[in-house]
A and B are shown apart, each in its own frame.
Chain A
Amino acid sequence: EAQVTQNPRYLITVTGKKLTVTCSQNMNHEYMSWYRQDPGLGLRQIYYSMNVEVTDKGDVPEGYKVSRKEKRNFPLILESPSPNQTSLYFCASSLGAERGTEAFFGQGTRLTVV
């Protein structure tokens, strides 16, 4: 089954404790992206990757890091989480960035930073 898998689904952590949210897709997609979803703000792009070893900042990259060492995986790293990073996070992938290309989303990771 074609899917994007994120782990964990839920995470509560303390300020400053490094964490990683994993994302994996089995569709051989080149393009992957991370979003955060906050009430009233919709989805905002954090980082994206066009292919292995190629990543770039989205709209809200501060406090986040990513890596793309393999095509299927695109982990999101919070080196020193803060309470304002409490949010719902989604990983997405697509075949490319061409016009009309559909994005496939993971089920989300609800992160709480206390």
Chain B
Amino acid sequence: GNSVTQMEGPVTLSEEAFLTINCTYTATGYPSLFWYVQYPGEGLQLLLKATKADDKGSNKGFEATYRKETTSFHLEKGSVQVSDSAVYFCAFYTGGFKTIFGAGTRLFVKA
């Protein structure tokens, strides 16, 4: 069935470190892929998205590339800041009015 697997957290990094959060998916059909971010006490907001193979989504220094051959959509940032501390959710949409979310990865960035 449809599912998203993302790396377990929490992930703790020092400021300016390189970030990778792995995400792989199992989907029927050809999904659109998303990363959402949830800051403390807030709802989810879209961070970036990609709708077809080899597309790269980017926003606020974060990037993720749609890899159809490996069914992956790993999130990366070259230099994290304390303000990036949040929970990150990988998700996909295949139609049928449903978005499938991963379990979320909590990121802590230390000054």
Q: Is the CB of B97 within 8 A of A42?
A: no
Decide yes or no: A48 and B41 within 8 Å by CB, A40-B103, A42-B103, A99-B32 being known contacts. no
Q: Is the CB of A97 within 8 A of B96?
A: yes
Q: Is the CB of A43 within 8 A of B43?
A: no
Contact of B43 among A33, A101, A106 (CB under 8 A): A106
- Chain A nearest Cβ from B88, distance in angstroms: 11
Q: How many A-B residue pairs have CB under 8 A?
A: 57
Q: Is the CB of A45 within 8 A of B44?
A: no
Q: Is the CB of B41 within 8 A of A42?
A: no
Q: Is the CB of A99 within 8 A of B95?
A: yes
Closest to B42 in A: A107
A41–B5 Cα distance when bound, in Å, is 11
- Chain B nearest Cβ from A54, distance in angstroms: 10
Q: Is the CB of A105 within 8 A of B49?
A: no
Q: Is the CB of B103 within 8 A of A90?
A: no
A44–B46 Cα distance when bound, in Å, is 17
Q: Is A58 an interface residue (CB 8 A)?
A: yes
Q: Is the CB of B89 within 8 A of A97?
A: no
Q: Is the CB of B99 within 8 A of A103?
A: yes
Q: Is A50 an interface residue (CB 8 A)?
A: yes
Q: List CB contacts (< 8 Å) of A65-108 with chain B.
A: 90, 92, 97, 99-108
A106–B45 Cα distance when bound, in Å, is 9
- Chain B nearest Cβ from A17, distance in angstroms: 26
Q: Is B75 an interface residue (CB 8 A)?
A: no
Decide yes or no: A99 and B89 within 8 Å by CB, A42-B102, A42-B104 being known contacts. no
Residues of A within 8 A of B (CB): 4, 31, 33, 35, 40-45, 48, 50, 56, 58-59, 90, 92, 97, 99-108
Residues of B within 8 A of A (CB): 4, 32, 34, 36, 41-46, 49, 51, 89, 93, 95-99, 101-104
The 7 closest A-B pairs by CB, nearest first: A105-B43, A100-B51, A42-B101, A43-B101, A42-B103, A105-B44, A100-B32
